Structure 1
C-alpha cells in the first residue's frame, strides 16, 4: 500500500472541501462555529495558500488532511505552533489514517522541521469524543474559555513533541 505525506496544492482544493465538509458533519450538528465545518471552495483554497495544509494520500487518493496555521489564532496565549482543520474522509475512518497523519505532522513537521518543543490545537468540550481522543494522544488542556458564541467551553490543548527542548524552554521561562 502506497502512503504519501505531502503539502496540499490548489489542485487538491476540491477533494479537500469534500473531505472536510463530510468529516465535519457532527460539528455542524453540534452547532459549533468552526470555520472548516462550512468552508466553501474559496476558503479551502485560502487555507491551502495561506497556511501549510498537509495531506495523506493512500494509493493516490487523499484520505486525511491537517493544517499548520500561519495565523495568530493563539498568539495571545502561546507562541507554539497551532494545528487546525484536521479531517479524515468518513469512508476511510477507522483505518488509522488520521492517527498516522497527526503523528507525522507532530514529528516530521512540528518537531523536526519547525523545531518547536510542543504543538497546540483547539477543541470543544461538548464534542462527544474529540477531547478524550486528544488526551489519549498526550494532549493536555492549557487554556479553557467560553467564546460566548454558543460553542460552550473550548480547550486549547498542548502536546510536547520534544521533551528535552520543552524542559529547556520551561527552565528559561522560570528563570526570567
Structure 2
C-alpha cells in the first residue's frame, strides 16, 4: 500500500468531510463547539480553498487529513505566537491505530512546517475536556504554551507548541524576547 501526501482538492471535499465528521464523534458528544466537528461539505470546500488542507492517501483512499491555517485568516493567533497553526486533524476511524495519523502529522511537521514554511515550531489547539487528545499531543512532543477557558462550559483550551527545528527555535525565541524588550517601556 503506497502512501501519498498531498494538498486536498475540491474533488476531495466529500471524503474529507466524511473523515472529519466520523473522527470528531467524541468532540460532539462532549459538547465542544469546534467548527470542524459539524462541518458540512461547503465548510470543507472553504477550508480547502482558503487554507492548506493536506491529506494522506493510502492505497488510493484518503485516510487522514490536517489543515495548515492561512495566517491571514488566523492573524491574531499567528501574530501572537509568530508560528504556523495546524487544525482540523482527523483520521478515518477505520484506520485509527495503524499509524496513518502519525504519518501525516510527522510529514506536515517536517516537510511542510520545518522545510517548506521554514518555521522553527508549530502550534495547535485542543481541549483539556477531551479524554485523549491532550496526552496524545504531549506524547508527540507538544507542550502547552497558553491555557484559557475560551467558551463557557467547554473547560480549559490549550494552545500547544512543538519545536520542529531546535536551532532555529533558539534564534526565534531570542529575537522575540529582544523585540518584546524593545516594545516594553522602561520606567525611570
Distance 1:148 1:115 in 2: 33
Give me the TM-score of the superposition, normalised by structure 1.
0.97
SS at 2:32 equivalent: coil
Distance 1:165 1:4 in 2: 28
SS at 2:144 equivalent: strand
Quote the residue 2:174 is aligned against: 171
Quote the residue 2:129 is aligned against: 126
Out of 156, 160, 174, the residue aligned to residue 157 of structure 1 is 160
Q: How many residues align?
A: 176
Quote the residue 1:50 is aligned against: 50
Alpha-carbon contact 1:56-1:64 (below 8 Å) kept: yes
Distance 2:117 2:79 in 1: 20
Alpha-carbon contact 2:22-2:93 (below 8 Å) kept: yes
**2:150 paired with 1:142:** no
- Structure 2 gaps, min length 5: 180-188
Alpha-carbon contact 1:33-1:149 (below 8 Å) kept: no
SS at 1:132 equivalent: helix
Q: Could you say what the CA RMSD is over the residues aligned between the two structures, in angstroms?
A: 1.0
Write out per-residue CA displacement over residues 52-77 of structure 1, whole angstroms, 9 at most, x where no aligned residue: 00000000000000000002161353
Give me the TM-score of the superposition, normalised by structure 2.
0.91
Quote the residue 2:83 is aligned against: 80
Distance 2:20 2:151 in 1: 25
The residue correspondences of 1:25-40 to structure 2 (distance < 5 A) are 25-40=25-40
- Structure 1 gaps, min length 5: none
Q: Which is higher, the Rg of structure 1 or of structure 2?
A: 2
Shift of 1:78: 1.1
